[in-house]
Structure 1
Amino acid sequence: MEYILVLLIVALLNGAIAYLDSLLTDIVPLTLYAEKYMSTLAGTNLTEDLFNILFGFGVSLIVLKFLKKGFETYVLWTDGDADEEPLSLLTNFFKAMAVAICFPIIYGWLGQIVQEMTNRLLTAIGASTSYNWAAWVAGISSQGLVTAIFGLVFIICYFILYFQFLMRGLEIMILRIGVPLACVGLLDNDRGVFKSYSQKFFQATLSVVVQISLSKLGVGLMLNMHILWGIACLILAIRTPKFLGDFLLTTGGGGGAVNNAYHSVRLVQMARHLVK
């Protein structure tokens, strides 16, 4: 029975290795520029067309919000501080326009930085894009049922991670398209929605770097028969977005809560001194 199960798992692994070499090839460009890999399906540059549409809406909203804030602050005196210099609002307006207009160029620079950093990390790890998967399957099959099951778990995690990369590419593409709308928040002194938007953008791009590095490291460990370490690397790679999100994304109300707690403690201390 054990022999039959091993043969079944080996058959599944042999069927999967036909895809393994190509899955993580050029995965960084795939996630950063997903539209290039979908252009053959859509027949056009989908991202550029959608970005141009939302760019028009975003610029219109920036202008309308600038006029609204200026009118309510300096004419009606119902919003903001009327004593504040109009230069501050004007600076925020030009900042929002500059980011919305220059974002494609800025993102191009970011993409180059991410790719260069990833390549250097992979060079330091010593991971290669060409592996002898057939020899690995043969080694797995010779070590019994438990090892074969671990090998199957590794392949499942490998495919899950690949689909995560595809989802990350779509997520980054949506974030890129929506940048002009997020720039409306730059008209506020606290940067509004743009603050959390940029943090989410940074988290997505950093997740790509960490995940590709962990996946390559996991593959290298697995092919050297460090089975548990290899699986641990892939599981951590799958959990990377949540791991980074725990400390990269912050809520806007956190500072207010800290200040309120501080003032509450100070009031208690003052009351105790008065009682004494």
Structure 2
Amino acid sequence: MTVLFVGLIVSFITGFFAYNFWLDNMVFLALYAEKHMAGIGFESFNFLFDIFFGYGISLIVLKFLKKGFDIYILWVDGDADADPIILLTNFFRAMTIAIGFPVIYEAVAKIIENLSTEVITAIGLNIDNSQLSLVNDLASLGIFPAILYLVFTVIFVYLNIQFIVRGLEIFVLRVGIPLACTGLMDADKGAFKTYIQKLVQEFFTVLIQVVLAKLGLALMRNGHIQDYNIYFGIAALLLAAKTPRFLQEFLIPSSSGGGMNGVYSAARMVQMTKIAFKR
């Protein structure tokens, strides 16, 4: 019975790691989700960029006209004595970023790709399936090592699903950039500032998760129970899986006197009110 169970585990692990896609396309999956979807027959996703780009440019123009009318004609918004060049500068900045973002994104994505490749190569984690020897001796090692390798593989499957989710999140953020650029027409940059912070967090998440995933594979490649490689490999994957929450503690949106401070003040007020009523 034990031999049969171990054999099933070995077959599952071998079948999974024989599929090259997971190992070779981590960064591509996260940064270019629409290209992968186009490769499997969903080419219409590319048209979403054109649709939202058109609506975003229209909203920027409409917001520019409305703000100009409210400030300099109706005198109901902003300072009518302010130099109109400020409003014009904000308009051109919003238009430039909305139009040029695809080029900017390609450059940043290429930097992330190259950086992840160089980091992985520098610390000796640039491995492929031909070098993976995860299951060579499982049958002889016994059921406990087989279960540990199974846990590792399940976490790795979950991590790759996270890469797909990350790719779709980045895709949605990229599609919505022209709409977010309308915030640049405001003095505090509106939603644009938080939007970009979220995109930067996604980039850092992809970079760290790819490196940790490769580290886990390298540790498990020639792992043995007695030298703790298996445990370190599982730990690396667990850390990779919780990277988004880990980074959230550092890359949180902040504002001077606005949003987060207002939420904090409101929460404190509610807390003090509850205490007062209890008394």
TM-score bracket, normalised by the shorter chain, equals 0.7 to 0.9
In structure 1, distance between residues paired with 2:91 and 2:43:
33
**Superposed counterparts of 1:41-80, under 5 Å:** 41-42=40-41, 44=43, 46-47=45-46, 49-80=47-78
Aligned counterpart for 1:242 among listed residues 229, 240, 245: 245
AA paired with 2:240?
A: A
**Superposed counterparts of 1:33-48, under 5 Å:** 33-42=32-41, 44=43, 46-47=45-46
AA paired with 2:260?
A: G
Contact 1:36 1:45 in 2 (8 A): no
In the alignment, what sits opposite 1:263? none
In structure 2, distance between residues paired with 1:251 and 1:25:
36
Per-residue CA shift, 1:216-248, capped at 9, x if unaligned? 001001113100100011111111112112221
AA paired with 2:77?
A: D
In the alignment, what sits opposite 1:7? 7
Deviation at 1:251, TM superposition (A): 4.8
* Structure 2: stretches of 5+ with no match in the other structure: 224-228, 267-279
Could you state the TM-score of these two structures normalised by the residue count of structure 1? 0.85
Deviation at 1:134, TM superposition (A): 7.0
In the alignment, what sits opposite 1:164? 162
In the alignment, what sits opposite 2:103? 105
Taking structure 1 as reference, are residues 115 and 45 closer, same or farther at Cα in structure 2, changes over 3 Å only? farther
Contact 2:212 2:239 in 1 (8 A): yes
AA paired with 1:83?
A: D
Question: Are 2:24 and 1:18 aligned?
Answer: no
**Superposed counterparts of 1:1-276, under 5 Å:** 2-19=2-19, 21-42=20-41, 44=43, 46-47=45-46, 49-132=47-130, 135-225=133-223, 226-252=229-255, 253-255=259-261
Could you state the TM-score of these two structures normalised by the residue count of structure 2? 0.84
Deviation at 1:30, TM superposition (A): 2.5
Any runs of at least 4 consecutive aligned residues in structure 1 with deviations exceeding 6 A, and if so which?
257-260
Q: Once the two structures are aligned, what percentage of the paired residues are identical?
A: 47
In structure 2, distance between residues paired with 1:38 and 1:13:
26
In structure 2, distance between residues paired with 1:98 and 1:6:
59
Taking structure 1 as reference, are residues 163 and 186 closer, same or farther at Cα in structure 2, changes over 3 Å only? same
Contact 1:17 1:133 in 2 (8 A): no
Deviation at 1:132, TM superposition (A): 5.0
AA paired with 1:35?
A: E
Taking structure 1 as reference, are residues 39 and 132 closer, same or farther at Cα in structure 2, changes over 3 Å only? closer
